[in-house]
Amino acid sequence: MGENRPGLVEPMVKAFRECGCSIAESRMAVMGDRFTLMVLLSGTWDAIAKIETMLPRLEQELDITIVMQRARTRAPAHDLMPYAVEVIAVDQVGIVHQIAQFFSHHDINVEDMYTSNYAAAHTGTPMFSLHMTISIPTDISIAAMRSEFMDFCDQLNLDAIMEPVK
């Protein structure tokens, strides 16, 4: 993480390559004036050791904050179905919490989520947008879950869609 500026990604990915690491997964975003990058690197044990050794120097050279953690590969879950959820609403405090709580109470994991705010086109009304991917256990009735979620959204005056990830 650090102050957003042009050319920040290149020296980081160059360091990964020079150490012999591959980028298995990544997410990058600019929020306000902050740049964030999350990467899951893969490589041989010595490639990983090289990048771990290089990170403090990279942190100083680029004036960024780096947090490193080792992660294990996640076993594929054959008993989960990925669904996309999109919500649009007039911005109000607590929307994300209420949606997260709904899925948490149903033992449904949120795999990915991003939100944003914007002004409505003609009125300037502050609006909220949420996109998430959830993993629904195969033993849950999708029709019942979708119906319950839509009723939940109607009660909160949220415009929502829940559909399988294609």
Domain total in the chain: 2
Tell me whether residue 71 is in a domain: no
- Residue 166: pLDDT band with limits 50, 70, 90: confident
Residue pair 1/34 in contact (Cβ under 8 Å)? The answer is yes
Pair (149, 87) in one structural domain: yes
Pair (136, 86) in one structural domain: yes
Sign of CA dihedral 126, 157, 121, 131: positive
**pTM, rounded to two decimals:** 0.80
Tell me whether residue 41 is in a domain: yes
Residue pair 20/41 in contact (Cβ under 8 Å)? The answer is no
Q: Are strands 126-137 and 80-90 parallel, antiparallel or unpaired?
A: antiparallel
Tell me whether residue 156 is in a domain: yes
Pair (33, 102) in one structural domain: no
Pair (156, 112) in one structural domain: yes
Q: Which domain holds residue 7?
A: 2-62
131-154: per-residue pLDDT in tens? 999 999 999 999 999 999 999 999
Pair (155, 97) in one structural domain: yes
Tell me whether residue 46 is in a domain: yes
54-91: per-residue pLDDT in tens? 999 999 999 999 999 999 877 777 899 999 999 999 99
* pLDDT the model gives residue 113: 95
Tell me whether residue 74 is in a domain: no
* pLDDT the model gives residue 74: 79
pLDDT at 156 over 90: yes
Q: What CATH code is carried by the domain that includes residue 19?
A: 3.30.70.260
pLDDT at 160 over 90: yes
Amino acid (1-letter code) at residue 65: T
97-122: per-residue pLDDT in tens? 999 999 999 999 999 999 999 999 99
